[in-house]
């Protein structure tokens, strides 16, 4: 066990319920237990490159545990290894990682906690390869990080989507409509699957199981034959038809993850109305899933992750990510956590349970 005097923390990528709770836990445990100083970089890795930071103390983080968002700000466009700069008045991208490391050294930081998802942790691992004492904390509402049972923020997003489905049931039933709820989930359908089961959806469409529109129409007609005059469909933004492609809303070239998905709900609604003559409406939940206060489960998990990140730094477990495995928080190499996305297994017991209660995945 070593003695550290000063550490840094940043929140990278998209915002997520529970970020402030992790910041609070990192700061309080570092100060209260080890007498360390804590520096928070502003706007993710951008603050690291531009040396923009604040000193975090017990007053700074007081009362933020229940708040959504992040008091440090975040960014999913600023990669220090491919950073947007200007040369002769022209936009260009260059490696600014050495500049970031100089700032870390000038501040006397002996460790850095990176709170982020797949993209941010890829960057964290690159800094570790350059000698930075990095610890990762798994953050994503998509729940698609390998080597951990669950990421904080996921259960709050599921709660938000489930409440939306509850509300859509009443209006769908009143007007005998098909209601489609489009939720986040680019490559993994965890939010759609969990929210769909808890919210009583009749059809769940996820990226891992390509769908066929005629199978969805059959489910709608089947319900109508049994005097069920409405249907609820929840679709992940990354879902696609059999042999088809994901629906891309736009491309953001300067982002390390440039593809922005969106529009599958409206595309599907058009097909359903054309093929079934059933009035169909779409609700795109969008960033409501990222916003708001974290539910108690995520607040508690965030505290455990934040404390574990400080312990990992103290114990010299650099280049690792704190991970929930069963009931325990452990550390795993960041490389293990990011080597592949954690996807829904189409043969899992959860998918099987959904099928057993009559939920269609649009494939059979």
> Residue 314 above 70 pLDDT?
yes
> Residue 267 above 90 pLDDT?
yes
Do 77 and 58 lie in one domain? The reply is yes
pLDDT tens digits, residue range 188-237? 999 999 999 999 999 999 999 999 999 999 999 999 999 999 999 999 99
Active site residue 15: no
Do 88 and 183 lie in one domain? The reply is no
Do 206 and 76 lie in one domain? The reply is no
Do 80 and 58 lie in one domain? The reply is yes
Do 116 and 196 lie in one domain? The reply is no
Q: How far is CA 261 from CA 78, 240, 326, 361, in A?
A: 20, 11, 32, 20
Q: How far apart are CA 268 and CA 291, in angstroms?
A: 26
Look up the domain containing 245 and give its range.
156-291
Mean pLDDT of 338-346: 95
Question: Which residue in 15, 43, 142, 159 is the catalytic one?
Answer: 142
For 39, the token pair is 């520096």
pLDDT at 163: 97
pLDDT at 261: 75
pLDDT at 3: 83
Number of H helices, E strands in the chain: 11, 15
pLDDT at 98: 97
For 304, the token pair is 């455990």
> Residue 333 above 70 pLDDT?
yes
Q: How far apart are CA 152 and CA 237, in angstroms?
A: 20
Do 220 and 314 lie in one domain? The reply is no
- With cut-offs at 50, 70 and 90, classify the pLDDT of residue 252: low
Q: What is the biggest distance separating any 2 CA atoms in the chain, rounded to whole angstroms?
A: 71
Do 83 and 106 lie in one domain? The reply is yes
CA angle (4, 10, 12) in 5-degree steps: 145
Does some domain include residue 351? no
- How many domains does the chain contain in total? 2
97-106 helix and 118-129 helix, angle to the nearest 10 degrees:
70
Structural element, H or E, at residue 94: strand 90-94
Do 196 and 279 lie in one domain? The reply is yes
Q: What is the mean pLDDT of the chain?
A: 94
Do 229 and 305 lie in one domain? The reply is no
Taking alpha carbons only, the member of 28, 33, 35 closest to residue 6 is 35
Size of the chain in residues: 364
Mean pLDDT of 286-309: 96
Torsional class of 358: left (φ above 0), alpha (ψ -120 to 50), beta (otherwise): left
Residue 324 CB partners (closer than 8 Å, separation 6+) = 148, 149, 150, 301, 304, 305
For 160, the token pair is 């938000």
In this structure, the strands spanning 259-261 and 248-251 are antiparallel
Does some domain include residue 350? no
Q: Global pTM?
A: 0.93
pLDDT at 85: 85
Do 299 and 330 lie in one domain? The reply is yes
Do 59 and 142 lie in one domain? The reply is yes
pLDDT tens digits, residue range 138-194? 999 999 998 999 999 999 999 999 999 999 999 999 999 999 999 999 999 999 999
> Residue 1 above 60 pLDDT?
no
> Residue 256 above 90 pLDDT?
no
Structural element, H or E, at residue 284: strand 280-284
């Amino acid at each position: 066990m070593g003695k550290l005097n000063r550490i840094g923390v940043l929140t990278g990528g998209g915002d997520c319920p529970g970020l402030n709770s992790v910041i609070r836990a990192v700061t309080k445990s570092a100060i209260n237990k080890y007498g360390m100083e804590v520096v928070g970089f502003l706007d993710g890795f951008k603050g690291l490159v531009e040396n923009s930071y604040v000193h975090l103390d017990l007053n700074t983080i007081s009362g933020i545990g229940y708040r959504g968002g992040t008091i440090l700000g975040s960014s999913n466009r600023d990669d220090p290894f491919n950073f947007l700069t200007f040369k002769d008045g022209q936009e260009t991208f260059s490696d600014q990682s050495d500049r970031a490391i100089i700032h870390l050294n000038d501040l006397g930081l002996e460790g850095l906690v990176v709170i982020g998802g797949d993209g941010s942790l890829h960057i964290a691992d690159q800094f570790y390869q350059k000698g930075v004492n990095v610890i990762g904390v798994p953050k994503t509402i998509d729940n698609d990080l390998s080597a951990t049972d669950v990421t904080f923020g996921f259960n709050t997003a599921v709660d938000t989507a489930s409440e939306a489905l509850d509300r859509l049931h009443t209006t769908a039933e009143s007007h005998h409509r098909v209601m489609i709820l489009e939720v986040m989930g680019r490559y993994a359908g965890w939010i759609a699957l969990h929210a769909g089961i808890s919210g009583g959806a009749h059809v769940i469409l996820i990226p891992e199981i390509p769908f066929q529109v005629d199978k969805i129409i059959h489910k709608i007609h089947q319900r109508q034959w049994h005097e069920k005059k409405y249907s609820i469909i929840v679709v992940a933004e990354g879902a696609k038809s059999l042999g088809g492609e994901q629906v891309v809303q736009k491309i953001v070239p300067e982002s390390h993850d440039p593809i922005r998905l969106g529009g599958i709900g409206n595309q599907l609604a058009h097909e359903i109305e054309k093929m079934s003559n059933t009035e169909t409406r779409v609700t795109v939940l969008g960033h409501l899933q990222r916003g708001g206060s974290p539910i108690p489960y995520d607040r508690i998990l965030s505290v455990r992750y934040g404390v574990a990140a400080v312990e990992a730094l103290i114990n010299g477990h650099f280049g690792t990510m704190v991970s929930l495995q069963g009931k325990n928080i452990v550390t795993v190499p960041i490389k293990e956590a990011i080597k592949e996305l954690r996807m829904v297994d189409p043969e899992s017991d959860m998918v099987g349970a959904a099928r057993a209660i009559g939920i269609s995945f649009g494939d059979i």
